[in-house]
Structure 1
Amino acid sequence: VGLVGFPNAGKSTLLSVLTSAKPKIADYPFTTLKPNLGIVAYRDFQSFVMADIPGIIEGAAEGKGLGHYFLRHIERNSTLLFLVPADADDIKKEYDILLDELRRYNPELLDKERLLVISKSDMLDAELQAEMKVLLDRDFQNIPYLFISSVAQQGLQELKDMLWKMLNS
């Protein structure tokens, strides 16, 4: 499973919570300078690998930021987990930019199975999350999505269940 997202979306934090990997985590962009791998323990002593790819910015396919160095690592993943933080101005727009960067780098990446994860959802109250679900249901009819919080440990087992099912279908 490859983690795809803008800098500071929560990719490294998620990896550190789901695996024993110890990626550098800080509150500034481009903390992750190289891909980090971790093994996610799953039920009945099963596991799968998760890859934290450095943050991708708009224009990465043309060499902007650091993400263009690492787009090739995304090719090695069978499932892509798009991480967009709950406080993003426009979740659909962020997802579309990330998807477009992958398409411009290698259109075959769009054939990979995808999951959208709204990270940092502990910042949302129930009412705001319900409002966001209405928009997500409209904008992401063909892509499964899930709200999680790595820090508050919310939605993580459901995430592992969804990923396991995607990897083994």
Structure 2
Amino acid sequence: MDYRGFITYTLCVFLFALSLCLSDVLETTVEDEDTDVPDHSFPSWTMVHNKNVTCGTIKPGLKFPSQTWTCADARVDGYHLAYSLYADIGVDRKCVETRGLDELAEVCLAMMREMDVHKPLWAALVTNATCGYHEGKRGYLKKVREGFEWVDMQSGHGAMYTFRCMAEKT
């Protein structure tokens, strides 16, 4: 191989290695941007199917793979949302009062619509709840033939304190 061939070969190898390095950097940057969307608080109050859902402030700094809103210290007309597991799971037989009929996804979608966010829901997550006995009124949103209605409940097992709503990536 002559001198010019060696230089051309070396330059090609260098450019190929550089392109691999740059593609890794670009992929990492795009991936980091996709997974570093900061969490947002829901407004302090939102009307959802004729009841007032209130949310406290969140601690800043959490990031998610898609737009996410958090409702801390969630209340409906002053009382907590009921929290329940499906009865068939068998984990805690006391914490099944809503029988899995609560529509947290619709609560999320209604709150997002009130903020003029019209994206599909990717996830509705309960991030702070208890199956312990909760003193005080509770309630949940239930699907009915005409749409949705709130069900009021008295003291009992299961209360939700914080939930998150994550929009689908677009």
**Shorter-chain TM-score range:** under 0.3
With the length of structure 2 as denominator, give the TM-score of the two structures: 0.26
The structure where strand makes up a greater share of residues is 2
Q: Say which one has the larger Rg.
A: 2
